[in-house]
Chains A and B, each alone.
Chain A
Amino acid sequence: QVQLQESGPGLVKPSQTLSLTCTVSGGSISSGYYYWSWIRQHPGKGLEWIGNIHYSGTSFYNPSLKSRLTISVDTSKNQFSLKLSSVTAADTAVYYCARKSGSYPSYYFDYWGQGTLVTVSS
């Protein structure tokens, strides 16, 4: 059973960089069949896709966040990471990591981490 677990600071100051790591267990992040994703949910709101990365390093970002976003993968640790720079209060959200499965034109998120709340505040 694949499991994902987010980790990182729960409080980030405005203008700083939000950094989160997702550790994958029960399966290899180097499996070519999957992309590894970040999704966030603002308090009381819906879900917003942030971006995906393949173990090869190929990544796709939400255009609305692309200028501030870096997603990377560390296959030796079975982890992938999110860095979001120049954060504001609008980046306060629960951040989820998830596994993206399927094939074109049908991709879906079949395993999710429990989520971690990140608050942007001074």
Chain B
Amino acid sequence: QSVLTQPPSVSGAPGQRVTISCTGSSSNIGAGYDVHWYQQVPGTAPKLLIYANRNRPSGVPDRFSGSKSGTSASLAITGLQAEDETDYYCQSYDSSLEVFGTGTKVTVL
């Protein structure tokens, strides 16, 4: 059972903005641990999308942005594209172990 909760699904039309929340607690995100985000196309390995709350690795489009506040974090995708339709996971740290979110499937309508 993951300690980081994400909505199972979010959807939006092409060009729109969608956000994915990652809700934790005082023992993980609220304790000051950073949040990181991964994009996973089914059948492939996760790909680092955002690290340290808001930083994009080289090659990640600036349509993807991250933020963190209190015990939660968010991933925003602006200018939604068909290729963004896949799964997304947040990750942080809690009580001596790395923890992942429950995962969110983004659907482009």
Interface residues of chain A, those whose CB is within 8 Å of chain B, are 37, 46-49, 52, 60, 62-63, 96, 100, 102, 105-110, 112-115
Q: How far is the CA of A109 from the CA of B48 in the complex (A)?
A: 7
Size class of the B contact interface (CB-based, 8 Å): 20 to 34
Given contacts A46-B101, A47-B89, contact A106 B48 (CB under 8 A): no
User: Of A46, A48, A100, which is in contact with the most chain B CB atoms at under 10 Å from its CB?
Assistant: A46
> Looking at B34, B36, B89, B97, which has the most chain A CB atoms within 10 Å of its CB?
B97
A94 CB, nearest partner CB in chain B, Å: 9
Complex contact B47–A106 (CB within 8 A): no
Q: Can you report 21 A-B residue pairs in the complex whose CB atoms are below 8 A from each other? A: A37-B98, A47-B46, A47-B100, A49-B98, A49-B99, A49-B100, A62-B97, A63-B96, A100-B98, A102-B34, A105-B32, A105-B34, A108-B34, A108-B91, A109-B46, A109-B91, A110-B48, A110-B51, A112-B45, A113-B45, A114-B44
Q: Identify the 10 closest CB pairs spanning chains A and B, nearest first.
A: A106-B34, A49-B98, A112-B45, A108-B36, A47-B100, A108-B51, A46-B103, A105-B33, A106-B52, A110-B48
* Most chain B CB inside 10 Å of its own CB: which residue of A100, A105, A115: A105
Contact of B97 among A49, A102, A105, A110 (CB under 8 A): A49
B61 within 8 A of A: no
Distance in angstroms from B34 CB to nearest chain A CB is: 4
By a CB distance below 8 angstroms, the chain B residues around A96 are 45-46
A81 smallest CB distance to B (angstroms): 19
| Shortest Cβ gap from B47 to chain A (Å) | 7
* Chain B hits for A114, CB < 8 A: 44-45
- The answer to whether A46 touches B51 (Cβ under 8 A) is no
Contacting pair A106 B100 (CB below 8 A): no
